[in-house]
A and B are shown apart, each in its own frame.
Chain A
Amino acid sequence: MAGASMKDIKLRIKSVQSTMQITKAMQLVASSKLRGARNRMEASRPYMEIAQRAMKDIVSHNLAEDSIYAQRREVRHRLYVVIAGDRGLAGSYNANVYKSIDWDGMPEGSYSVITIGRKARDFFQRRKVEMPAQIERVENLSVEDCEPLAGEILRGFEAGEYDEVVLCYTTFRSVLTQTPVLRNLLPLEPVQAEGRQRQMLCEPGAEALLRQFMPQYLSGVIYSAACDAFASEQAARRVAMDSATKNAGEMIEDLNLRYNRARQSSITQELTEIVAGAEHS
C-alpha cells in the first residue's frame, strides 16, 4: 500500500520535473527573443509617432477635408487589423487582444478581419469571420510583408467596402505590463487646433499627396505595430513561463515532502511487523 503510493509520488515528481525543464527552456528562449524584439520595437516606434503626427497635421489644416481618407462616413462595415501571436503559452496575451473588442456585441457580417499571427487567424477562422487577407507569422515580419495588407485596406476603403479601419494590437510598456490598444487607421483624424492656424503648403495637393503616401504609410504603421506586438508577446511568455517554473518548483518540494512521509511510514510499518514477528516466536 505504502509502496505503491511511494511509486506514484516518484512518478509525479519525475513528470513535474520534465514539465519544469520545458517551461524553463521556453523562458530562456523568450528572454533571448525579447532582447532582439525590443531593439526592433524601439527602432520602429519613432516612425509610428512621426508619421501619424505628420498625417494629422495635414488633415487638421483642412487641406484634405474633401479627401476620402479624411471623410467620416456612417460606419456600416468595419475592418479590424488584429495582431496576435504565433503560439500560445504566453499567459493571457492572445486572449487579451481578442477581448479588447466586443465581437459578440456586433451584428454578424458587420465586420471583417485582417490577421497577423497564427493564433489570431485560428481564432477568427473558428468564428467564421470573413478574412480578406492575412499574414501567418509575426516573427521576423518585414515592411514588404505588410504591403499587400496595406493594398487590400486601401482598395476596400476606397471602394467603400470598409467605412472604418481599426488596428488592434498589444503595446509594450514594460516586461511586466503590455496593454492591448485600438488605433484608428482610417479615416484619418484631425487634431484639435489650438490658437491660430498656421498656413501650410501641400504639393501636389493634399488629396494626391495622401493617395501617393498612403500605401507606404499604412504598411509602415502596421509593421511598427507588429514589432510592438511581438515584443509584448515575448515579454508575456517570459513572465508566464517564469511563474510556471516557480510553480513547478513549489510542487516538487511539496511532492518530495509527501514522498519522504510515505517512506517514513512504510519503514515504521515494516519495523512494527518485524518486532511483532519476533515477539511471537
Chain B
Amino acid sequence: MATIQLTVVTPEGKLFEGAAERVIVRATGGDVCVMARHIDFSTSLGKGEGRVTLPDGTVRRAEIEGGMLHAASDAVQIITNHFTWKEA
C-alpha cells in the first residue's frame, strides 16, 4: 500500500519521521484521516488522540493539543507544541 512521509515536529524536537500508511488526527472540525495521494491539505488541530498506522500495521497513539496538520505531495507534517506518544 502506498505510504505517506510523516513528520511530527514540536519546538523541542522532531518526534517522528518516517513512512506511515495513514494518520488520523482530531482537527478543530472533527476527526480527519490522511492517506497517500491526498489533496494538498491544511487544518488546525484541536485537543484529542492522534493515531498513526505504520506500514507494518501497528498503530501508535498520541495525545495532541493544538497545532496544525499540513499535507503536500504525500509529505504530511504535524506541527504542534503539545505531542506525547501514548505507548502501550
**Chain A interfacial positions (CB closer than 8 Å to B):** 40, 43-44, 46-47, 50-51, 54, 57-58, 61, 143, 198-204, 206, 208-209, 212-213, 216-217, 219-220, 223-224
Interface size on B, residues (CB 8 A): 27
With known contacts A43-B14, A213-B68, A50–B42 Cβ distance under 8 A: no
Interface of chain A, main secondary structure: helix
Leading 8 A-B pairs by shortest Cβ distance: A43-B13, A212-B44, A200-B40, A54-B70, A220-B11, A203-B43, A223-B11, A209-B44
A24 vs B72: C-alpha distance when bound (angstroms): 51
Name the CB-closest residue of A to B79. Answer: A51
Interface of chain B, main secondary structure: strand
Residues of chain A with a CB closer than 8 A to B41's CB: 200-203
With known contacts A51-B79, A213-B67, A44–B11 Cβ distance under 8 A: yes
Residues of chain B with a CB closer than 8 A to A50's CB: 7, 9, 77, 79
User: Does B80 sit within 8 A of A, measured CB to CB?
Assistant: yes
CB A273 to nearest CB in B, in angstroms, measures: 76
With known contacts A54-B68, A57-B72, A224–B11 Cβ distance under 8 A: yes
Contact string against A for B residues 25-44, beta-carbon threshold 8 Å, 1 for contact and 0 otherwise: 00111001000000111111
Name the CB-closest residue of B to A209. Answer: B44
A213 vs B68: C-alpha distance when bound (angstroms): 7
Is B67 touching A54 in the complex (CB atoms < 8 A)? no
A152 vs B9: C-alpha distance when bound (angstroms): 24
Name the CB-closest residue of B to A226. Answer: B11
Give the contacting residue for B43; candidates A143, A199, A202; CB below 8 A. Answer: A202
A201 vs B38: C-alpha distance when bound (angstroms): 10
A40 vs B11: C-alpha distance when bound (angstroms): 9
Residues of chain B with a CB closer than 8 A to A202's CB: 41-43
